[in-house]
Structure 1
Amino acid sequence: MYEFLDRSAQRPWHLDRIGAGRSRAPDTPQLHRLPALPVVLHMQENRSYLPQGARVVFTMLAVLFIAVTLLTAARGQWLVPAYALGALAALTFALEHHAKSTPASETLEMDADCARVRIGSDEAVSLPMTWLRLVTEQRSPTDLRLILRAGERRVEIGRCLALEERRALAPLLQVALTRAKGA
């Protein structure tokens, strides 16, 4: 998921956190409705929440799976229940670990002078706006990379987004870069 945010001209760049004082752009930004400079593009990995009803269904399926494996154990096939319980334990652990981990996020901040890219909690990479251009690399129909390039420096952005989101973001980002260079 991604969203374009407005950034107040009075807010200095050294305040790195996106939070207080932001105004959200429309959920489906059009090319002519991008916010004015400075622009903040926040991208975050889409996480689907597993509601309580889905957990109940998952538990019922697990119980049914265990019942079927116990029937095979009654025939003397003891490795089947052990394997089934191990697989269910691994799946449950993976789901819980994934739900508790923080989603990947990226932030791109642009003004008339430079663009700053922050991936996760890493240090921001500054790129001069005069030489900055967006390069899209598509090696296959299922792979699209968005790369900001300024001279020899390259920063890939949008790695936390799905393919459809990167395809939708590319023209919007190109327009935002053109506006930022023209300002």
Structure 2
Amino acid sequence: MPYEWTSPPGATDAPRAELQLWPYRSLPRRGMVIFIGITVALVSLPLLAVVGSPVLWGLLPFIVAAIAGLWWAIERSYSDGSVLETLLVWPDRVTLTRRNPRGPRQDWEANPYWVEVCLHEDGGPVETYITLRGAGREVEIGAFLTPEERKALYPELRRAMTRNPV
């Protein structure tokens, strides 16, 4: 799952629970390099027929531009997927921080006693989405998760919000 709960060591000022969420990566960096290498090899194979002729130099810029465009698109996808959400739960407050790839950092804070965890099955921007309501605001958490992952996260969030202070 592209999220992880951690319980920091027993320091007095440490949160009692920490949740980090990130988008799923179906193509790791190593896989991207292999994919680009295979693409270069497959595109270069037909060029063997025109090696030594001026046609090669006519085709080469377009092939290089296509490979560079593919590389750029995958890199852009990686940068767009660098979202990180961190939920920290203390006995007296809850904070949610979202670090956007090309935008400002977004923060939300509330008292966990008054925070309501809501699962919206339909009628929202995505299927089965989770919101936290408190301190006069409602914020979405884990928008990039799949509906199944959000359904699995919902009871865990409710449990973290209702747990008695340790």
Answer yes or no: same fold by TM over 0.5: yes
Partner SS for 1:119:
strand
- Among residues 137, 142, 147, which one is paired with 1:153 in the alignment? 137
Identity between Structure 1 and Structure 2 (%): 22
The structural deviation recorded for 1:173 is 1.1
Query: Measured at CA, do residues 5 and 60 of structure 1 come closer, stay the same or move farther in structure 2, by a change above 3 Å?
Result: closer
Q: Is the 8 A contact 1:66 1:81 kept in 2?
A: no
Q: Which ranges of structure 2 fall in alignment gaps of 5 or more residues?
A: none
Question: How many aligned residue pairs are there?
Answer: 154
Residue type at the aligned position of 2:94: A
Partners of 1:150 and 1:126 in 2: CA distance: 8
1:113 lines up with 2:92 in the alignment: yes
Please name the residue that 1:22 is paired with.
Answer: none
1:89 lines up with 2:68 in the alignment: yes
Partners of 1:56 and 1:42 in 2: CA distance: 29
Residue type at the aligned position of 1:107: T
Q: Is the 8 A contact 2:36 2:71 kept in 1?
A: no
Partners of 1:11 and 1:132 in 2: CA distance: 22
Query: Measured at CA, do residues 123 and 133 of structure 1 come closer, stay the same or move farther in structure 2, by a change above 3 Å?
Result: same
Query: Measured at CA, do residues 42 and 60 of structure 1 come closer, stay the same or move farther in structure 2, by a change above 3 Å?
Result: closer
Query: Measured at CA, do residues 60 and 3 of structure 1 come closer, stay the same or move farther in structure 2, by a change above 3 Å?
Result: closer
Q: Is the 8 A contact 1:105 1:160 kept in 2?
A: no
Partners of 1:41 and 1:49 in 2: CA distance: 23
CA RMSD of superposed structures (Å): 3.7
Q: Is the 8 A contact 1:116 1:125 kept in 2?
A: yes
TM-score (norm 1): 0.64
TM-score (norm 2): 0.69
